[in-house]
Chain A
Amino acid sequence: MATAEEVKKLATLARVSLPEEELAKFASEFDAILAYVGQLETLDIKQGSAQEKPPLRNVMRADGTPHEGGAYTEKLAAQFPAREGTALSVKQVIRHD
């Protein structure tokens, strides 16, 4: 059974935060969903019996220059929340103090 504590841990892993009052509701919905998908546990599929080779494998593009350098830079940079020229501005992560 999922607990509020476990849901909170998953939220931390997924980089989201849930309000305390909603944790219990999420946990109970989780239980219903996991009880449903839990029917997979009753399946007995022999190890290796379901192995198969996909018809399409290791698709590679030929080496080469797909486009001119900088062709999309301005368009992409226009979507940045904060920029300096064509560079993306982010918070300082490493501190020297």
Chain B
Amino acid sequence: MTRRNELTIAEAARALRAREFTVRELWDACAAAASARNPELNAFLEIFDADDAAIAAAQKRIDTDGSAAPPLCGIPLAMKDNILIEGKIASAGSRMLENYRATYDATVVKKLKEACALFLGRTNMDEFAMGSSTEHSAYGPTKNPHDTRRVPGGSSGGSAAAVAAHLAIAALGSDTGGSIRQPAAHTGLVGLKPTYGAVSRSGLIAMGSSLDQIGPLAKTVEDARLLYEAIVGRDPLDATTIPAGLYPSRGIPEKFRIGVPRHLLEKGVDADVRAAFDATLERLKDAGHALIDIELPMSAYALAAYYVLMPAEVSTNLARLDGIRYGRAARGETLLDDYLLSRTGGFGKETLRRILLGTFVLSSGYIDAYYYKADAARRVLRREYEKAFEKADIIAFPTTPSPAFALGEKSDPLSMYLEDIFTATANLTGMPALSVPMGFVERAGKQLPVGMHLTAPNQAEDALFVLGAAVEKARGA
């Protein structure tokens, strides 16, 4: 029998309604697994005490409403440490905010509370979501449950490890350049970056405001959909949230036209990752879907544009952390000393690097060469994708060129940045994208999961869930 903490959202929701176990028993199973394995994995920065009132309320709702209760009712979830839960620490993996207690609920948290979901704890992450390995956390790296000598990816690495190791049923992460999809690929999970504006960013500690989205990390495509449906929607507290139907609906095709930009995969992708990708495509073709070649020439410049725009937004957003109103507050002789001491002591190296880089690309004399050029490239990239979607329903490529790398392997910043090479495009275009497991490759005697990356037109998450389920089926999951 599958242990309770190993269930999916859909399975646990059914079992709770069938009275096979109680909400308390499900919580205890996850909490016990989390306490037992966290010292090894460092997935959670904090495991919360059981909230007796919330557990009782969830049980009561299931008892009263049965199948009408929300699917997430009574489900223990892990939350990335940059999503505010009122009264809890939200440190964003940084010393800067180690003492900061959220003064309000993020909109996604409010929605999850209304659905009677439970919060198991806050998960480790690269500081301020900057990184692709969770090694940039001020609280030590998270380990990959598939091989603890390797990273789980990042920046939502703690959320990914927690779900992959069955410490939580599912989790929320945030994705600015691949921070949900890359860790999902590295830990064998499904990860979704919704359409920009689909999910409210109110209560998400900002990194790159034109790129950030909150999204699910889950064991199945169905679970990712259930979580997404619980958090999606327009929010008066986030003016960039979009109403349903802002973009024209395209419907869900019976058989998908899957666009593959083969020109991007010719070099740089590991041979066995490429083989797993091609084999999955073949199985989709056998299931009746069509494969078509597409060209996305601006993609070659996407990561360069991303590493101009993102640091620009980072340096702007992180300017608010000045040691005056909340968070780390070091004190010196003058007010300027207060700023310098608080910020220098609070930020880690990678954060400092990106703040400086952003300051540089926005400075007079360089803003034309870097920032405006990158912004123009972003618009051209978006148009290329729109054009590609005239003949394709979904665009597919591997989520990452390689499986999870070893802890400490990528010590120079640029090699770490290249981890986002495939995923950053969806943040630049704003389009929704899903990573779905597509098999395993072997490294040093361990089987490591790899993911297939699907991009859809704006607000076409439904199409991602349908084709994502087809990828699961093709894999034999």
Contacts and interface: CB of A to CB of B under 8 A. Distances in A.
Interface of A: 7, 10-11, 13-18, 26, 29-30, 32-34, 36-41, 43, 45, 49-52, 55-56, 59-61, 72, 75-76, 78-82, 88, 90-91, 93
Contact of B343 (A16, A30, A45, A76): A16
Contacts of B308: 37, 40
Interface in B335-361: 335-336, 338-340, 343-344, 347, 352-353, 355-357, 359-361
B340 A16 contact: yes
Given A56-B197, A79-B325, A37 B356 contact: no
A2 B301 CA distance: 22
A43 B368 CA distance: 13
Nearest to A66: B236
Contact of B376 (A29, A50, A59, A76): A50
Contacts of A60: 239
A18 to B, nearest CB: 7
Contact of B379 (A30, A50, A75, A79): A50
B240 interface: yes
Interface stretch (B7-15, B99-107, B170-178): B99-107
Contacts of B374: 37, 40
Given A13-B359, A81-B323, A29 B380 contact: no
B236 A61 contact: yes
Which 10 pairs across A and B sit closest by C-beta, in order of nearness? A81-B329, A50-B379, A79-B326, A59-B239, A75-B103, A37-B304, A45-B376, A15-B339, A14-B359, A50-B376
Contacts of A34: 360
B377 A36 contact: no
B373 interface: yes
B246 interface: yes
Interface in B71-129: 100-101, 103-104
Interface of B: 100-101, 103-104, 197, 236, 239-240, 242, 246-247, 301, 303-305, 307-308, 315, 319, 322-327, 329, 334-336, 338-340, 343-344, 347, 352-353, 355-357, 359-361, 363, 369-370, 373-374, 376-377, 379-380, 382-383, 412-414, 417
Contacts of A13: 359, 363
A78 B240 CA distance: 30
A16 B239 contact: no
B301 A40 contact: yes
A45 B373 contact: yes
B373 A40 contact: yes
B246 A56 contact: yes
A60 B240 CA distance: 10
Nearest to A55: B246
B393 to A, nearest CB: 21
Contacts of B315: 14
A15 B307 contact: no
B240 A56 contact: yes
B380 A50 contact: yes
A32 B307 CA distance: 12
B414 A36 contact: yes
Contacts of A93: 335
A34 B379 CA distance: 21
Contacts of A11: 356
A10 B382 CA distance: 32
A41 B369 contact: yes
Given A15-B322, A40-B304, A72-B103, A33 B356 contact: no
Contact of A43 (B301, B324, B340, B355): B301
Given A37-B370, A39-B301, A56-B240, A16 B101 contact: no
A24 B324 CA distance: 30
B380 A16 contact: no
Contacts of A16: 340, 343-344, 347, 352, 355-356
23 contacts: A13-B363, A14-B343, A15-B340, A16-B355, A18-B352, A37-B304, A37-B370, A39-B304, A40-B370, A43-B376, A45-B377, A45-B380, A55-B242, A59-B239, A59-B240, A72-B104, A76-B103, A79-B103, A80-B326, A81-B323, A90-B324, A91-B335, A91-B338
Contact of B360 (A10, A36, A81): A10
A90 B361 CA distance: 32
A30 B305 CA distance: 16
Nearest to B324: A90
Given A13-B359, A15-B343, A37 B307 contact: yes
Contact of B344 (A7, A17, A52): A17
A55 B344 contact: no
Contacts of B240: 56, 59
Contacts of A14: 315, 319, 343, 355-356, 359
Nearest to A62: B236
Given A14-B315, A33-B417, A50-B379, 13 more contacts: A10-B360, A15-B319, A15-B339, A36-B303, A36-B417, A37-B374, A41-B369, A41-B373, A43-B373, A55-B247, A56-B246, A79-B326, A79-B327
